[in-house]
Amino acid sequence: MITLYDSLISGNAYKVRLVLAQLAVPFRAIEMDPFDGSTRKPDFLAKNPNGRVPTVLLEDGTYLAESNAIIWYFAEGSSLAPASRLERAQTLQWLFFEQYSHEPYIAVVRAWKHFVSKLSPLQELDLPERVKRGYAALDVMEKHLASRDFFVGGRYGLADIALYAYTHVAPEGDFELARYPRIRAWLARVAAQPGHVTITAQPPRA
Amino acid sequence: MITLYDSLISGNAYKVRLVLAQLAVPFRAIEMDPFDGSTRKPDFLAKNPNGRVPTVLLEDGTYLAESNAIIWYFAEGSSLAPASRLERAQTLQWLFFEQYSHEPYIAVVRAWKHFVSKLSPLQELDLPERVKRGYAALDVMEKHLASRDFFVGGRYGLADIALYAYTHVAPEGDFELARYPRIRAWLARVAAQPGHVTITAQPPRA
């Protein structure tokens, strides 16, 4: 059985839990604390030299890291995967947008405001810029959703899952979603998908 | 013919030029200045709402953004693409590592040191942390190359191309590669591939 090195506060780990739930793939989860240094200890670095969750142990003994690479792996051949060469590239475009232009701002601001008790001077100085760039990412999403129900190919898939993970908890970073009606309607569509699980739903623990 | 919205100083755009050259795909390039605001003007935002190069215009009129999504699109079915489900996921793992844990440090420090005349107070305060994280990314790469000639599947491919783009110009950000013998040997292997072009090689201009 697959093992997921997990964190219930990580939207990146949540992507994996959501995909595994919707594909009915059995797994066991090991909860890690992303803030206590345990992902930087030698035993974990032997699994993922980059020291991050989520990381999965596949049944053949291979470790796989990076949330969007992991969900791509499990979704291949399923209805969550893009159906054509162009849709694969468009899905990847949104997955890279999520990791480069969305997560470093929306997820980091959420972490700083919701999970960190005292910010460093650098973080204090950086916060307004991160908030600004988070809203810029939401602006791009709102614009894309003007003529679409889902991000790629007219149906629910990996791009929606990757973007949902931190967008739906953006209010925990004090991002105001009230000004984004299309994003809010899309969040509701994603949450209404068969087999949806919430970010706080307890997975099967090892 | 494909149009590439390009920048000769961008490692991300270079990935696309390198893949198109090695696959012998004809294209025309339009040079953009990433620093003069032209990628944030309405006519460019209509092409890529996220306002970044590289962006490509495909022959069917579709615009595609995000360097690693673009190179994935062109490489599909070629010898540069990963050959199995696991190798696809491992390649994506390195592509997401590159965009999340490598590019924001190595490419950004290079830009600040090589192309920006005066840093902002936030950039000044942030610089040492970015340098530290850049070296952390190089450490991960050096470790991975201890037992491998290329990043995935024992042969040259997309993961090598994505990581080569900014690693080989890391010295422009004052990163010292002398301490990374395996990375230097790998850089030489990548540069020796058939059809290799340098980052400064002029592409066909529109």
Considering only alpha carbons, which residue of chain B is nearest residue A61? B86
What is the location of CATH 1.20.1050.10 in chain A? 85-191
Q: How confident is the model at residue B206 (pLDDT cuts 50, 70, 90)?
A: confident
Judged against a pLDDT cut of 90, whether residue A109 lies above it is answered with yes
A85 vs B67, B76, B88: nearest CB: B76
pLDDT at residue number B143: 97
Q: Which pLDDT score is estimated for A45?
A: 97
Non-local CB neighbours of B135 within 8 Å, separated by 6+ positions = B175
Amino acid B121: pLDDT: 95
A86:B99 CB<8 A: no
Using the beta-carbon criterion (under 8 Å), do A90 and B69 form an inter-chain contact?
yes
pLDDT of residue A95: 98
The CATH class of B85-191 is: mainly alpha
What pLDDT shows up at residue A205?
86
**DSSP notation for B98-133:** IIIIIIIIIIHHHHHHHT-SS--HHHHHHHHHHHHH
The predicted model gives A82-94 an average pLDDT of 98
CATH code of domain B2-75 = 3.40.30.10
Question: What ipTM did this prediction achieve?
Answer: 0.98
Q: Do B97 and A72 touch (CB under 8 A)?
A: no
Q: Cα(A98)–Cα(A167) distance, rounded to whole angstroms?
A: 10
Spell out which residues of chain B touch residue A76, defining contact as CB-CB under 8 Å. 85, 88
Residues 17 through 76 of chain A touching chain B, CB cutoff 8 Å: 49-50, 58, 60, 62, 64-70, 72-73, 76
CB pairs under 8 A between A and B: 103
Mean pLDDT of A10-23: 98
Note whether A93 contacts B65, CB cutoff 8 Å. yes
pLDDT score at B205: 85
| Over residues B115-139, mean pLDDT | 96
Overall size of chain B counted in residues:
206
How far is CA B162 from each of CA A37, A154, A165, B79, B151, rounded to the nearest angstrom? 29, 30, 26, 15, 10
B83 interfacial to chain A (CB closer than 8 Å): no
> With a threshold of 0.90, does the pTM exceed it?
yes
Of B62, B96, B144, the CB nearest to A68: B96
The arithmetic mean of pLDDT across residues B127-150, rounded, is 98
- Report yes or no: B85 at the A interface, CB cutoff 8 Å: yes
Q: Rounded mean pLDDT of chain A? A: 97
Residue with tokens 């059995």, as numbered in its chain: A26
Give me the percent of chain A exceeding a pLDDT of 70: 100
Bridge partners (DSSP) listed for residue B4: B29, B56
How high is the pLDDT of residue A206? 79
Q: Where in chain B is the domain with CATH 3.40.30.10?
A: 2-75
Q: What average pLDDT does the segment A5-18 reach?
A: 97
The 10s digit of each residue's pLDDT in B166-196 is 999 999 999 999 999 999 999 999 999 999 9
Residue A91 has pLDDT above 90, yes or no: yes
**In this predicted structure, what is the pLDDT of residue B170?**
98
- What pLDDT, on a 0 to 100 scale, did the predictor assign at position A40? 95
A100–B66 C-beta distance less than 8 A: yes
Amino acid code (one letter) for B66? E
B93 contacts in chain A (CB < 8 Å): 64-66, 69
Query: Which residues in chain B touch residue A97, judged by CB atoms under 8 angstroms apart?
Result: 50, 65-66
Tokens for A61, please give them: 């003994």
B93, B119, B126, B131, best to mutate vs chain A, most A CBs in 10 Å: B93
pLDDT (tens digit, 9 = 90+) per residue, B62-121?
Answer: 999 999 999 999 999 999 999 999 999 999 999 999 999 999 999 999 999 999 999 999
